[in-house]
Amino acid sequence: MLSRFSWGLAIVIAAVASSARAEILFLDNFDSTSDASAYGDYGLNQELDVRQSGTAGQIQYVKPTVAQSRFNAKVNDAAHPGLLSFILDTDWQAGSRYLDHDFGVNVKVSATIQPNTNTAGTGWTALAMLTSSNNPSYKEIPYCGDVGAAIQLVPNGTWWAFSNGGNFASGNVTTATTYDVTMQVTNTGSGNVLNAWIGDTQIVTDYVLSGAAATRTVNYVGMGGMMRAGSSFGGTQFATFDNLKVETASAVPEPGTLALLAAGLIGLVAYAWRKR
């Protein structure tokens, strides 16, 4: 028979495990069976039943109303199989695509990103969480006023963090070909807080969001980039995204979890008192 100590410890462990569980709302691995050229939309919203999973169901991507004439988003392009790629052949352009779904607050968004291959210092790639609309009017996604949080990257590992259209932090991580970017927005009871990571490195810690992002319970997900292409910039430029995922996150334990934790702690205290 288990002792009171064992029961108390088991309950505490169960409570901690309960609070740590995350529900996968959405995952797109971009592994289509057909080449992007087979579709008029370059495969962006094709074969969603093959690529996507999660409790939120299949979700389409939308293109902003602002002009992006030379900026193409392709899924499973021949040159970039199993990826979402932003491709630009000539001139320069910024563009973005958004998931047409409100994931609400207390969510974590992640993706594996290969930033814009332009090394001339004029391009970037970004992952963003929008607090009001999935169709902003401005094509440079980090600078949109309704973006609650965005992480902007360039190939050498330099990053910038944005909120409400403004940059509030920057830094560098070790240069790599691809970067695993994660953002988490949680409500602490007094407002929304942002944490962000690139790989295992936490780049934003408990940043209290302000302005429109402080209390809103709306979160759309967007991806974007700025590119310069052509002979002066090494030809065609591209950036890629893989394994775009949205999952639940909780900064404050749920009441049921707190009750479990309290019961376990009471058991441990009772055991300690009896052993005196």
pLDDT, average across residues 52-69: 87
C-alpha span between 155 and 161 (Å, rounded): 16
pLDDT at 245: 98
The band of 89, judged by pLDDT with boundaries at 50, 70 and 90, is low
**155-166: pLDDT as tens digits:** 899 999 999 999
Q: What's the N-to-C CA distance of the chain in angstroms?
A: 22
The band of 276, judged by pLDDT with boundaries at 50, 70 and 90, is low
Residue carrying the six token digits 């592994």:
31
Instruction: Please give, one letter per residue, the 3-state secondary structure of 147-201.
Output: EEEEEEECCCCEEEEEECCEEEEEEECCCCCCEEEEEEEEECCCCEEEEEEECCE
C-alpha span between 90 and 233 (Å, rounded): 9
pLDDT, average across residues 217-246: 82
**114-151: pLDDT as tens digits:** 997 665 556 789 999 998 887 776 778 899 888 999 99
Tokens encoding 86: 């932003």
pLDDT at 123: 77
pLDDT at 134: 79
Q: State yes or no: pLDDT of 92 exceeds 90.
A: no
Q: State yes or no: pLDDT of 254 exceeds 80.
A: no
**171-185: pLDDT as tens digits:** 999 999 999 999 999
- The pTM score is 0.82
Q: State yes or no: pLDDT of 202 exceeds 50.
A: yes
Asked whether the beta carbons of 15 and 260 are under 8 A apart, the reply is: yes
pLDDT at 121: 52
